[in-house]
Amino acid sequence: MKYRTGQAGSRGSPWMWSAGIVSAALLLHGILAGQAQGQAIVLRGGTVIDATGAPPIPNAVVVVRGERIEALGQGINPPAGAEIIDVSGKYILPGLWDEHLHYKSWFPELLITNGVTSGWVQDGSPWILAQRDGINKGKILGPRMFIRVQSIDFFGAPEEARKITLDLIGRGADFVKIYTLTPPENVKVIAEEAHKAGKVVEGHFGITARQAIDNGANGLVHSTGVELDTVKPEVLEKELPAWRAVDQGRSRVVFPKVSQWNESKTGGPNPDLTDYWLWIEDPRRLMLFGKMDRSMAQDLIKLMVQKQVYIEGCQIYLFRNFNDHLEEYYQEDLALLNRPELHYIPEVIRTNILDYTLLDKLTADEKALMKLGYRNYQWFVKAFVEAGGKIVVGPDTSSIWHATMMPGVATRRELQLLVDAGVKPMQAIQFATKVPAEILGKGKDLGTLEKGKLADLLVLGRNPLEDITAFKQIERVMQNGRWLPVGYHYDFVNPIPNPGEHWLTFPGKEPLSDTPELVTSISPSLVTEGSGPVALTVKGREFVSSAVIQAGERWLSTDVVSPSELRATIPADMLAQAGTIPIQVVHAKPGWGKTNSMNLYIKFK
């Protein structure tokens, strides 16, 4: 099945990006709608690896009707009128999950082609909501999304942390994520409220693993805190302070100290008090893994298993410079980035994917200790899993701020690194299917191939239980009972784009620009196609009497309510089709100039 889209530059209107003029969206909609309304689909003759842990089922029959699996097993007679697909010699598995996606508009083909049909999305912006809804309706290509809304990075009073948590839950967060500034007492109240609502709590913590676990955390993102609880005190107190800060010249080194932290809050060193924007980026963290005391690690593993705490292994990110496939992965990435069909991957991402220059700045002794850190982490992963611990696959793709990985490709590579560490292939597969679905409370419908569950499945040409790299050869992808297009296409376009998502910015370090940042918010920022005229409010600062709201390239009749608020009505014809409209403020003559823009997203009905 070919996935052909309209030309990327073919736009019927100069003022917005619209699904109506991007044939990618229309063709995808036609394919998916037709499949969803058609007859039963039968896959016959393949081997089913259902990810429950049961033995593979050879010569199986899988019957899909609508969005669910109607029957699965051997000797099943196909329903009358079914479309029968011979998959003899092939392997049928659940769709993969990626537990850590910083989703971008160019991700869809890379994720789907590499088998990722569901993901924990680290965002909850209006654009993400539009993408999620469009994917659920079969109108946009992409993985099923479960959202965090936003992370909680809060150092204030615990009761304020409680209010923030309740607000996120009220706004539809599927899970709660805590970030580095949050001290233990706030982790506790956040976990209390999240658990009352049936939400899992994970964190990219700035405290030790034990502190996070003791205060109710369910998961350790990037295995944060593990390195602090698995080394002897003298390593933290004497050796770590003596190690040099490597690579200070990189733009990711934004602030030298997080000055508002009070170490007495944690009773020990806060790992984000470094020269790096993120401690996980600092080579000294990998060096700490090189100092791991395995007896201390076993004690931590025992606690984690007892408390049923999972880790996001993320080896493909943390140890990207020290895994055993560095050259292989580099060459594969280089080949992919040279494919003309993937021209739409942004330049900053291309640079970061191929960025291994850190290796040139390390001494031989530092490299040796970091390689030992990788070996120790592999041992930790194997020991944790053998003790009954659970891992979720979450490569953390893809960052504009630092060396990063290819979405989708990184997911299947993480499976390979788990097997390299000594994890059995079936377990590695479960860590990207069954386990993330169950942790999120979605195991009733997703994560395994069983009768009655949603039909998210992959057809592979090779057996991943014999060779985990079989995920390189995914021949078919089904999501919600619909076949999705597999492969990369030069003219791929996301029907609801997100302009500005590739700007290189970080806190305290914004790009130089002559465009004044005067617009601070627009309301609404998300509407439904065909919703008719919409009253728009733009808030900001320094608006003058000649200020006019510009939607795309159309000037709107504008009421200047105050120097900080403007109002206008967006006419119905501009909202007739899904797409994206940039909103900014201009000035009628004799004024001049434009402000920054913010996007109004029009989601599918």
The domains found in the chain, sorted by start residue, are: 99-108+111-233+283-442 (3.20.20.140), 519-603 (2.60.40.10)
Q: Is 539 helix (H, G, I), strand (E, B) or coil?
A: strand
Angle at 101 between CA 19 and CA 495, to 5 degrees: 5
Give the pLDDT score at 115. Answer: 98
Angle at 283 between CA 279 and CA 286, to 5 degrees: 90
Tokens of 468: 């985990």
Query: At 85, which helix (H) or strand (E)?
Result: strand 83-86
Distance of CA 395 to the CA centre of its chain: 8
Burial 190-215 (b: 16+ CB within 10 A, else e): bbebbeeeebbbbbbbbbbbbbbbeb
Tokens of 353: 């994917």
Measured distance between the N- and C-terminal CA atoms of the chain, rounded to whole angstroms: 26
Distance (Å, whole) CA 97 – CA 408: 10
Tokens of 516: 């004044």
Distance (Å, whole) CA 208 – CA 184: 9
Give the pLDDT score at 406. Answer: 96
pLDDT digits (tens, 9 = 90+) for 438-452: 999 999 999 999 999
Give the pLDDT score at 572. Answer: 96
Q: Is 65 helix (H, G, I), strand (E, B) or coil?
A: strand
C-alpha distance from residue 432 to each of 86, 245, 257, 511 (Å): 26, 35, 36, 37
Strands, E assignment, 464-532: 474-479, 482-484, 519-523, 526-528
pLDDT digits (tens, 9 = 90+) for 22-49: 444 444 544 454 454 568 999 999 999 9
Burial 556-571 (b: 16+ CB within 10 A, else e): bebeeeeeeebbbebe
Give the pLDDT score at 58. Answer: 98
Give the pLDDT score at 250. Answer: 44
Give the pLDDT score at 424. Answer: 98
Q: Where do runs of H (alpha helix) occur along 38-157?
A: 108-113, 126-136
Tokens 């469009």 sit at which residue?
Answer: 134
Residue 18 sits at φ, ψ, to 5 deg, of -130, 140
pLDDT digits (tens, 9 = 90+) for 195-224: 999 999 999 988 889 999 999 999 999 999
Parts of the chain with a pLDDT under 50: 1-27, 29-31, 33-34, 36, 249-277, 504-513
Q: Is 145 helix (H, G, I), strand (E, B) or coil?
A: strand
Residue 409 amino acid letter? V
Residue 437 amino acid letter? A
DSSP state of 397: B
For the chain, counts of helices (H) and of strands (E):
17, 26
